[in-house]
A and B are shown apart, each in its own frame.
Chain A
Amino acid sequence: EVQLLESGGGLGQPGGSLRLSCAASGFTFSDYGMTWVRQAPGKGLEWVSLISGNGGNTDYADSVRGRFTISRDNSKNTLYLQMNSLRAEDTAIYYCAKHTSGSYRPSDYWGQGALVTVSS
């Protein structure tokens, strides 16, 4: 059974940093691209970043480019999102999601989400 479990959410200061983790199980992690999607309170879905199975290809939404970094450790079956220079508008539930295959594919499994609140 595919499972994705996010951790690391919480309260962050404006201008501060947080790191999200997503522990994956139930599939061969390195074979699949992964994505972070966020959802601000009461709003729609916003794609944040993606990474290929071997970590060699990454991409970002303009709203986070230069501030957020996606990475993965295939030996630990874990996906990361390093979030720096946090802004109030980064407040959202952050979901990690597994692609159906490579880098630019839909997401067939989603974690339960990690709430990030940016506030002083």
Chain B
Amino acid sequence: DIQMTQSPSSLSASVGDRVTITCRASQGISNYLAWYQQKPGKVPKLLIYAASTLQSGVPSRFSGSGSGTDFTLTISSLQPEDVATYYCQKYNTAPITFGPGTKVDIK
């Protein structure tokens, strides 16, 4: 099975900072990679799919890139409402696998 890892596991940044989260697949998954945001006590929300396609309604400060095994989620200017845990997910074949998550908070 393909394993998904994320780094860092947590980060603290200031409002306005550029934040980058990395997701790595143990084997190539082309661009079958999604990113989700889960705010404390809330339901996960789809941010990006196909590695770089922004889901409708998601602010443009979020962007995704990568293909194959290495992917990144970037928040261009961190906002207080971005405090959340971010998960990557590979979905091309079963088992569908989520990364362990990256917790983002405000410094």
Contact surface of A with B, Cβ cutoff 8 Å: 35, 37, 44-47, 50, 59-62, 95, 100, 104-108, 110-113
Q: Which of A35, A44, A113 interacts with B96 by CB under 8 Å?
A: A35
Q: Which of B1, B38, B91 interacts with A106 by CB under 8 Å?
A: B91
Q: B43 touching A108 by the CB < 8 A rule? A: no
Q: Which of B49, B55, B98 interacts with A45 by CB under 8 Å?
A: B98
Q: Decide if the interface of chain A is mainly helix, strand, loop or mixed.
A: strand
Besides A110-B44, A110-B45, A111-B43, 9 other CB < 8 A contacts? A45-B44, A59-B95, A62-B1, A95-B44, A104-B32, A104-B92, A104-B93, A106-B49, A106-B91
A residues near B38, Cβ cutoff 8 Å: 45
Contact surface of B with A, Cβ cutoff 8 Å: 1, 32, 34, 36, 38, 43-46, 49, 55, 85, 87, 89, 91-101
Q: A104 touching B91 by the CB < 8 A rule? A: yes
A residues near B92, Cβ cutoff 8 Å: 104
How many residue pairs between the two chains, A and B, have CB atoms under 8 Å in the bound complex? 57
Q: A105 touching B91 by the CB < 8 A rule? A: yes
Q: Which of A44, A47, A95, A107 interacts with B95 by CB under 8 Å?
A: A47
Which residue of A is nearest B98, CB measured? A45
Which residue of B is nearest A59, CB measured? B94
Q: B87 touching A106 by the CB < 8 A rule? A: no
| Pairs across A and B, CB under 8 Å, 19 listed | A44-B98, A44-B99, A45-B36, A45-B89, A45-B101, A46-B98, A47-B95, A47-B98, A50-B94, A59-B94, A59-B95, A61-B95, A62-B95, A104-B32, A104-B93, A105-B49, A105-B91, A106-B49, A106-B89
